[in-house]
Homo-oligomer: A and B are copies of this chain.
Amino acid sequence: MDYILSKNTPRTGAGKSREVGPMGIVEQKTVAERARQAFDALTRAERQLANALLDNYPMLGLESITAVAESAGVSTPTVVRMAKKLGFGGFPEMQASLRAELQATISSPIAKHDQWAASALEGHLLSRFADAVTENIRQTLHQIDKTTFDAVADLLSDPERNVHVVGGRITRSMADHFFTHMQVIRPGVTQIASNSNSWPHYVLNMRAGDVLVAFDIRRYEHDILRLTEMARARDVTVVLFTDQWGSPAARHAAHRFHARIEVPSAWDSTTVILFISEALIAAIETRTWETTRARMNELEELFDKTRLFRKFV
């Protein structure tokens, strides 16, 4: 940006809201902090508003009260009431506070780099983690081949092919998640139990043309390698979710997704794997929408009948 930032700051943050804490120290709370803190004390409509405000923080709050109310889908009185609950005299006062915050934020170079670090999380593990994960997503996406993704989605949308899902010690949860959703989307989906002794039984049921979706990140598991090997021997197409280095099972896989998994932790992060998996589910669901919608409706009815899940909201 080439605009000039003021050297002199005559236009001080008009009503920068302050509060005197227990120690007599002047505390400055951002509107976001106040909203978060008071969240529990807010009513339904006010929470809806708070969410909208935080969703598009802080820009939404800088519009007129009418625009804010409309965006959040609440009435203008609700906006006023919440502003007061957050400790402001009224909406304009809250807005002035937002402007002051933004002023402070925008002049700091941190803001340019990292939006979320500018909040109270500066340097906190959470924001470092967020940086790592976001960067992992970015890099993973750079490496993913669109063609592969689409091909896999097509493969898994084919009702003629049965789908088998398997995961390892850590990735079992990912396999489970994938299975749970696929099970709703289409018939013919099997989850392979985690006890590898029983795996040969599952192989017995694999037919040529079927698809085996396997999850395997370091440290790689020998049993998964064996399973994919057996599957390929039976002309089963293997789709593998693995890390950037690649499980040895990759040699048997027709399609592979390499996710970045490193984060500031003793463990690897499976967040990006879950991300791809969810995106894939979305892609498949689009392709089989007619069937899927029917199945979802049916599932709804079953839920209602069994009262297994009571409806809220």
Let me know if A141 and B130 touch, CB within 8 A: yes
**Is the CB–CB distance between A59 and B219 below 8 Å?**
no
Asked whether A32 lies within 8 Å of B2 as measured between CB atoms, the reply is yes
**A173: nearest residue on chain B (CB-CB)?**
B177
Distance between Cα atoms of A4 and B32 in the complex (Å): 9
Interface stretch, picked from A74-82, A233-241, A280-288, is A280-288
Main SS class of interface, A: helix
Q: Are A60 and B270 in contact (CB under 8 A)?
A: no
Residue among A59, A108, A286 with the most chain B CB within 10 A? A59
Flag A14-27 by CB within 8 Å of B: 1 or 0 each: 10000000000000
Pair B146/A121 contact, Cβ less than 8 Å: yes
- A151 to chain B minimum Cβ distance, whole angstroms, is 13
Q: How far is the CA of A132 from the CA of B285 in the complex (A)?
A: 17
Determine if A126 and B142 form an interchain contact, defined as CB atoms under 8 angstroms apart. Answer: no
B125 and A283 form a contact (CB under 8 A): yes
Look across to chain B and name the residue whose beta carbon is closest to the beta carbon of A50.
B143
Asked if B309 contacts A169 (CB within 8 A), the reply is yes
User: Which residue of B9, B14, B129, B145 contacts A63 across the interface (Cβ within 8 Å)?
Assistant: B14
User: A124 to chain B: which residues have CB within 8 Å?
Assistant: 146, 149
- A300 adjacent to chain B (CB < 8 Å): yes
Which residues in B have their C-beta under 8 angstroms from that of A205? Answer: none
With both chains docked as a complex, state the minimum distance between the C-beta of A57 and any C-beta of chain B, in angstroms: 4
Which residues on B sit within 8 Å (CB–CB) of A282? Answer: 125, 129, 263-267
Q: In the bound complex, do residue B267 and residue A281 qualify as a contact, i.e. CB atoms below 8 Å apart?
A: yes
Q: Is A202 an interface residue (CB 8 A)?
A: no
Residues from chain B with a CB closer than 8 A to the CB of A62 are 62, 99
Given A59-B106, A313-B245, the answer on whether A146 and B120 have CB atoms closer than 8 Å is yes
Given contacts A137-B130, A142-B54, contact A71 B9 (CB under 8 A): yes
Is A198 in the interface zone, CB < 8 Å from B? no
Would you call B300 and A10 a contact (CB within 8 A)?
no
**Which stretch, A109-117, A154-162, A206-214, touches the partner chain B?**
A109-117
Chain B CB within 8 A of A174 CB: yes
State A286–B267 Cα separation when bound (angstroms): 11
Contact of A266 among B99, B138, B266, B296 (CB under 8 A): B296
A54: contacting residue among B108, B119, B139, CB under 8 A:
B139
A-B pairs with lowest CB-CB distance, top 8: A265-B282, A173-B177, A222-B310, A129-B279, A6-B56, A108-B115, A3-B32, A11-B56
7 A-B pairs with CB atoms under 8 Å apart are A51-B244, A106-B115, A110-B134, A124-B146, A221-B309, A222-B310, A271-B274
Q: A9-B71, A32-B143, A270-B274 are in contact. List 14 more A-B contacts (CB 8 A).
A: A3-B296, A6-B56, A11-B55, A36-B145, A37-B145, A108-B114, A124-B149, A125-B282, A169-B180, A172-B180, A176-B176, A266-B282, A267-B278, A267-B285
